[in-house]
Amino acid sequence: MLTDLVEIRRLAEASALENLRFRRYLKAHHYRDGRFRWLAAEVQRQIDCKLCANCCRQTRVNVSAAEVAAIAAFLGASSEQVLREYTETDPEDRRTMLRQRQDACIFLEQNLCRIYDARPRACREFPYLTAPGRSPGARMSSVCRRAWLCPIVFNTLEGYKKLVGYHEPPA
């Protein structure tokens, strides 16, 4: 299982064209999501997110009013205080998102989430490979785009290529 983020990024960027071809291969062959979800769950069991936390450094999380209220209750604060101290407005779509501090989520401390039990849905479900109601097959382009970001995504994608017998066509 590869977990070195520098190597994962290098390999993911080098595989961009291969991943595009793989997405087309999957679309043409209509594989069911069950095997993909099974593999993702196996990979997820083998990788400790606390050793990485790259998702908390590289992504921004939008939060709903209900999620702000849950964070506030967890922190023993008011929703207004959470909005003021821990969120900001996205300049593009005007949605409320968790603030970043030192190039990471404001709630990240030494690879651990300070609000883990009250974290937003986006954080709970990341990397979205095994979440119920989400179809990886329909979103394989986003899976491929996130391969550089997360060891779970990268290893699942590479493992799935092997599992379905995908081989890069000769040049």
CA–CA gap between residue 98 and residue 100 (Å, rounded):
7
- Specify whether 83 is located in the same domain as 33: no
Cα-Cα-Cα-Cα dihedral of 145, 147, 150, 155, to 10°? 150
Question: In this predicted structure, what is the pLDDT of residue 136?
Answer: 56
- 171 inside domain: no
What single-letter DSSP state applies at residue 132?
T
Strand-pairing partners, residue 108, are: 113
One domain, residues 121 and 138: no
Q: Note the pLDDT tens digit of each residue in 120-141.
A: 999 998 888 876 665 555 578 8
How many distinct structural domains can be found in the chain?
Answer: 2
pLDDT for position 128: 83
Check whether residue 32 and residue 75 sit in a common domain. Answer: no
**CA separation for the pair 74, 72 (Å, rounded):** 5
Residue 43: predicted pLDDT: 96
The percent of residues above 90 in pLDDT, for the chain, comes to 73
Residue 169 domain flag: no
Residues 158 and 104 in one domain: no
Q: What is the pLDDT of residue 133?
A: 61
One domain for residues 79 and 46: no
pTM: 0.88
pLDDT for the residue 65: 97
- 32 is in which domain, residue-wise? 5-52+127-163
